[in-house]
């Protein structure tokens, strides 16, 4: 490198990585649910199909807080940010996550596709977001199991309401949320076919599909 060459900044490095399409900023996602009474059968099936068979699935116990940041001068959709912290590993960094609107336009696409960026942060993250003017929309805790199959991540988790008193968290339903996801750079839509093929192996225990939350919202209103 020449002695008078300008140093490469973090912004330059990020721009180069984006141009090279090496940043995993797209999430491919399928979701479903399984009743409490059938979850052990599903876990047994996943142990037989996934990579981490000998060690068993990873467990997690997290709390997630959803923040929104609104522009008072505009009527656009507010920016939504999610903060997750591990309740079973207090020394782990907080996780800040941005999730974009799901792309459901192509009916032939086998999975939901949405923008996703994850950043590890310090414990001062929530105070920082409050200073920015972010507002807490909701929070919950989630506890369950995580499996791996190649690049695919499969989670089977119970979602709990956060109690404002000393009472233990209350499950929001009598079922577990099941998610199959992959983080990858843009343009790797072929991974969706692999995800669909894997999801078919879990039937009829759980049906993983594309979920349109906007449509569900309209159905609940009507």
CATH code, 75: 2.40.320.10
Q: What is the pLDDT of residue 77?
A: 78
In sign, the C-alpha dihedral spanning 168, 95, 133, 131 is positive
pLDDT tens-digit map of 89-102: 888 999 999 988 88
Q: What is the pLDDT of residue 19?
A: 56
Q: Which residues of 190-222 are buried (b: 16+ CB within 10 A; e: fewer)?
A: ebbebbbebbeebeebbebebeeeeeeeeeeee
Give the percent of the chain with pLDDT over 90: 55
Q: Where are the beta strands (DSSP E) in 70-174?
A: 79-86, 94-99, 112-121, 135-149, 152-161, 170-171
In angstroms, the CA 151 to CA 67 distance is 29
Give the percent of the chain with pLDDT over 70: 81
Establish if 124 belongs to a structural domain. Answer: yes
pLDDT at 15 over 90: no
Establish if 96 belongs to a structural domain. Answer: yes
Q: Where are the alpha helices (DSSP H) in 28-124?
A: 39-49
Establish if 4 belongs to a structural domain. Answer: no
Establish if 75 belongs to a structural domain. Answer: yes
Output 74 or 47, whichever has higher pLDDT.
Answer: 47
Chain-centroid distance, C-alpha 98 = 9
Q: What is the pLDDT of residue 5?
A: 56
pLDDT at 105 over 70: no
pLDDT at 152 over 70: yes
Residues 167-178, mean pLDDT to the nearest whole number: 92
Confidence bin at 219 (pLDDT 50/70/90): very low
Q: What value, to the nearest 5°, has the Cα angle with vertex 164 and ends 158 and 169?
A: 20
Confidence bin at 11 (pLDDT 50/70/90): low
Establish if 218 belongs to a structural domain. Answer: no
Q: What is the pLDDT of residue 217?
A: 46
Establish if 201 belongs to a structural domain. Answer: yes
pLDDT tens-digit map of 193-206: 999 999 999 999 99
How many domains does the structure of the chain reveal? 1
Establish if 5 belongs to a structural domain. Answer: no
Distances, alpha carbon 109 to alpha carbons 70, 154, 194, 214, in Å: 32, 20, 12, 18
Establish if 17 belongs to a structural domain. Answer: no
In angstroms, the CA 209 to CA 202 distance is 12
Find the domain containing 73 and state its range.
26-213
In angstroms, the CA 65 to CA 121 distance is 14
């Amino acid at each position: 490198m020449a002695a008078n060459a300008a140093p490469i900044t973090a912004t330059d490095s990020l721009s180069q990585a984006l141009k090279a399409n090496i940043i995993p900023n797209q999430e491919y996602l399928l979701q479903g649910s399984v009743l409490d009474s059938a979850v052990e059968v599903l876990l047994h099936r996943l142990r037989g199909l996934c990579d981490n068979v000998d060690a068993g699935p990873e467990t997690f116990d997290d709390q997630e807080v959803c923040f929104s940041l609104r522009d008072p001068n505009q009527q656009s959709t507010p920016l939504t940010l999610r903060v997750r912290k591990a309740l079973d590993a207090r020394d782990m960094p907080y996780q800040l996550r941005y999730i974009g609107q799901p792309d459901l336009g192509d009916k032939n696409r086998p999975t939901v596709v949405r923008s996703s960026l994850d950043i590890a942060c310090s414990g001062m993250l929530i105070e920082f977001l409050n200073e920015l003017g972010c507002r807490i929309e909701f929070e919950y805790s989630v506890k369950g199991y995580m499996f791996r199959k190649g690049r695919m991540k499969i989670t089977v988790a119970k979602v709990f309401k956060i109690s404002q008193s000393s009472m233990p968290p209350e499950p929001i339903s009598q079922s577990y949320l099941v998610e199959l996801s992959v983080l990858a750079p843009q343009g790797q839509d072929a991974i969706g076919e692999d995800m669909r093929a894997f999801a078919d192996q879990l039937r009829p225990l759980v049906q993983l599909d594309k979920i349109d939350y906007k449509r569900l919202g309209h159905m609940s209103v009507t």
